[in-house]
Structure 1
Amino acid sequence: MHPERIVTGGQPLTTATKVLLMLHGRGGNAQDILSLAQQLDVDDFALLAPQATGHSWYPYSFLAPQAQNQPALSSALAMLGGLLQKLEAQGISRKSIYLLGFSQGACLTLEFAAQNADRYGGIVAFTGGLIGNQLDPGKYHGDFAGTPVFIGTSDPDFHVPVERVQASTALLKSLGASVTEKIYPNRGHTISQDEIDLANTLIFKA
């Protein structure tokens, strides 16, 4: 469903001390999200941007019952898990692995991280929330051990209700993440310069 197709940038994996995984939104592609790195303080990072089959990680809204988004959703989560295993096998610890996504990619980023909570380098979600028609705390495990997380979103946002963002923030905090959430009035479904600045300050320069 989602084979591991990775577009790379930044430093070579053989010499980089940090890795940033970047997940594009619905209708986007790996090159799109990779270009965002030009505005981020990640000069010393290896950049890995997976490409979703058909430019979509799962077919329906992230608020649909999870069964409706299968098997694509499980395939996307498994692809990310396999990618992290390969990085760790190369000697890159999770403390040196950062996760970033926009929109559908942000939802997938948060869902993967919450199901595999650990001490990551940092997590950035540009407009996203945990996946499912209802949040089930029982499926999220682990301890973020203070991992810094930044979540930015608009209120309102056509795709991502602010209530789900707030509920996701609360759940991530319950798993030990240090979450900064910022809600922008009527910003639209995009990434603002202020969000980029906060991501740099809170995550990449930390």
Structure 2
Amino acid sequence: MSRPIIVALHGVGSSARDLAAALAPLAPIAEVVALDGCEPFDRGPSGRQWFSIASVTEADRPRRVAGALPRLINRLDRLAADRGVDRHALTLLGFSQGAIMTLAMVAQRLHHGRAIAVAGRLAAPILPMEGRPASVLLVHDRDDPIMPISLSQDAAARLASAGDHVALRATDEVGHAISGPTLSAIRDWLVATPAPLLQSTLIEG
């Protein structure tokens, strides 16, 4: 694998195409494969979602996230098999609702590779560490009007306490979006953080 494979998970109501365009500047250092959410967006005429946010509550969100994880895992496993790599060799990168899914994968010990969460929150219980820790980057803007930066600060503290390798990068004047400062933080972290050494899952006939 000459370049790392970033699997990008978009925010609610958006699409793989939109996120792939936002992450295009990362192409020199990584291959970006953006996935569409598993469900049509149920609060608008277009877009996709990983889980519904209709009437969602703080208490109910973890259940919805848990319900969405098996479909995501299945798609990641198929992608990894197609590329002949271990699922954990993929770098997960989520924005907003996609970041919620990314952090849930780490917290539930379903991914112990590299994971990047932009403007997200941790909405899943953290299971005890049973294998290698994940390497996690959280990027959040101080002026985000949708997701306050305190959500990433809380997630970073909790995952670090659980034994994961965690970095938090704060940006300014980006809001709830991906922009130049976001991409710079991601690029710098990817270069500085080695991918896990995992054997290929490719089966040769």
> How far apart, CA to CA, are the structure 1 residues paired with 2:160 and 2:55?
21
**TM-score normalised to structure 1 length:** 0.73
Provide the residue aligned with 1:12 in structure 2.
none
8 A contact 2:119–2:149 mirrored in 1: no
Q: How does 1:128-139 map to 2 (within 5 A)?
A: 128-131=120-123, 136-137=125-126
Q: How does 1:1-206 map to 2 (within 5 A)?
A: 18-41=4-27, 45=31, 47-53=33-39, 54=41, 55-60=48-53, 64-67=57-60, 72-89=64-81, 91-120=84-113, 122-131=114-123, 136-137=125-126, 140-142=127-129, 145-185=132-172, 187-203=174-190, 206=193
> How far apart, CA to CA, are the structure 1 residues paired with 2:140 and 2:191?
19
The 3-state SS of whatever aligns with 2:60 is helix
Identify if the C-alpha distance between structure 1 residues 156 and 144 changes in structure 2 by more than 3 Å, giving closer, same or farther. farther
Which ranges in structure 1 are unaligned for 5 or more consecutive residues?
A: 1-14
Identify if the C-alpha distance between structure 1 residues 51 and 63 changes in structure 2 by more than 3 Å, giving closer, same or farther. closer
The 3-state SS of whatever aligns with 2:107 is helix
> How far apart, CA to CA, are the structure 1 residues paired with 2:79 and 2:162?
23
Q: Deviations over 1:7-58 (max 9, x none)?
A: xxxxxxxx77643211111121111112233111465536241334222222
The 3-state SS of whatever aligns with 1:190 is coil
RMSD (CA atoms): 3.1
Identify if the C-alpha distance between structure 1 residues 187 and 16 changes in structure 2 by more than 3 Å, giving closer, same or farther. closer
Letter in 2 for 1:99: L
The 3-state SS of whatever aligns with 1:159 is coil
* Percent of matched pairs sharing the same residue: 24
> How far apart, CA to CA, are the structure 1 residues paired with 2:129 and 2:189?
22
Identify if the C-alpha distance between structure 1 residues 144 and 84 changes in structure 2 by more than 3 Å, giving closer, same or farther. farther
8 A contact 1:62–1:107 mirrored in 2: no
Which ranges in structure 2 are unaligned for 5 or more consecutive residues?
A: 42-47, 194-205
8 A contact 1:29–1:52 mirrored in 2: no
> How far apart, CA to CA, are the structure 2 residues paired with 1:42 and 1:24?
21
Identify if the C-alpha distance between structure 1 residues 46 and 87 changes in structure 2 by more than 3 Å, giving closer, same or farther. same
8 A contact 1:17–1:92 mirrored in 2: no
Equivalent residue pairs, number: 185
> How far apart, CA to CA, are the structure 1 residues paired with 2:111 and 2:133?
9
8 A contact 2:6–2:90 mirrored in 1: yes
